[in-house]
Structure 1
Amino acid sequence: MKRLIDGYFRMLGLMMVLCLVGMVVLVFGNVVLRYGLNSGITSSEEVSRWLFVWLVFLGAIVALRERQHLGVEVLVRRLPVVGQKLCLIVSQLLMLVTLWLFMSGSWEQTLINLHVEAPATGWSMAIVYMVGIVFSISAGALVLWDMYRLLSGRMRDEDLVMVTESEEKAELDNLQRELARAERKQL
């Protein structure tokens, strides 16, 4: 199962790279064509925008798995373990409700825009809204997995706070964990 999940996230990483490369090629190519040859790629702006939307949502899925989302943890860190668990359950339930609303809205928008053509490419506008479905299902699975781990007692106490206040603090916490692991290996 772990190999399947890791493979899925490698695929998401590859899709993110392809989105970024596509954006760079389209935008840079369009700039070169406009200034160098006085022409351009008509659909580059539209496709680049769509790739950017997909890149952001796929990145949010990966960030959720790696616990890289920013949030306020001051209050939760000061609570006892029972309070942290309760806050985690409440926040996970709220996330599930939000993800359900987001998925149902994305599904409806996908169906509504299925036969609507984009102005520059003529492609279906549903492509833009499909990423909401992918995000909601993937994020929902991650949230449900974390709730299962919490309720079955498989989650460590240090994993109860799933956000960090700043990127610097997250980096410091990672370095401290690596240092503690290295010290344990030496013993």
Structure 2
Amino acid sequence: MRPARLAVLAVRVADRVLAAVEAVLVLVLAAMTLLVFFNVVLRYGFDTGITVTDEVSRMMFVWIAFAGGIAVSRRQQQLGIDVLVAALPPLPRRLAHVAGNLAVLACCLVLVSGAWTQMQLNWRNTAPVSGLPTAITYAAPWFAGIGIGCVALANALGAAFGLTGGIMASGKEDPGA
């Protein structure tokens, strides 16, 4: 298989994975919103409530933040200043993209390693009300580190082989923009 065709296949797979991550984000956000809303109605309307709402919604919020980081990374919508890189000639620009994406990958490896350690340490620690393992919260940065690391690796390889300008873009119009 030719490298260009392999790159197109990788981008299609990444687009499908991104769609799945975004669908899960929507479901988790909807569930968190409903959980908190019903708890507020129960508290103020019926002087009762769902005791696990605070803990579970906090865990959901952490997951939304980290999984959202994968989507932002894949779409190249994170904050960045590229004035210097954009002014470079093509070859140094590609090298800068490779170096930058490799630096992101190194940070992701540190994040994944630290989150994995925290997950292992917290499987037996449970949240006081829900009884859920607190390791669930530490699984979110582990998952995000893997996802963002895969995007950074793909971007670095694309820039290194001249398949992309260092950005793993599908060329599709972002419907959210």
Normalising by the residue count of structure 2, what TM-score does the alignment of the two structures yield? 0.84
Partner residue of 1:136? Answer: 145
Please show how residues 85-124 of structure 1 align to structure 2 within 5 Å. Answer: 85-124=94-133
Partner residue of 1:83? Answer: 92
> What is the CA distance between 1:5 and its match in structure 2?
3.2
Q: Distance between the aligned counterparts of 1:75 and 1:148, measured in 2?
A: 21
Matched, 1:152 2:152: no
* Aligned partner of residue 123 in structure 2, secondary structure: coil
- CA shift digits 1:69-93 (9 cap, x unpaired): 1111122212222221222122112
Matched, 1:20 2:18: no
Structure 1 window deviating more from structure 2 (32-41 vs 68-77): it is: 68-77
Matched, 1:72 2:81: yes
- CA shift digits 1:131-168 (9 cap, x unpaired): 1121111111111111111112211xxx4479xxxxxx
Structure ID, larger Rg: 1
> What is the CA distance between 1:34 and its match in structure 2?
0.5
The one-letter code of the counterpart of 1:60 is: G
Unaligned runs of 5+ in 2: 1-8
Partner residue of 1:49? Answer: 58
The total of aligned residue pairs comes to 161
Matched, 1:59 2:63: no
Partner residue of 1:169? Answer: none
Normalising by the residue count of structure 1, what TM-score does the alignment of the two structures yield? 0.80
Q: Distance between the aligned counterparts of 2:70 and 2:121, measured in 1?
A: 25
Q: Does the CA contact (< 8 Å) of 1:76 and 1:161 recur in 2?
A: no
Q: Give the percent of matched residue pairs that are identical in Structure 1 and Structure 2.
A: 35
Structure 1 window deviating more from structure 2 (99-108 vs 22-31): it is: 22-31
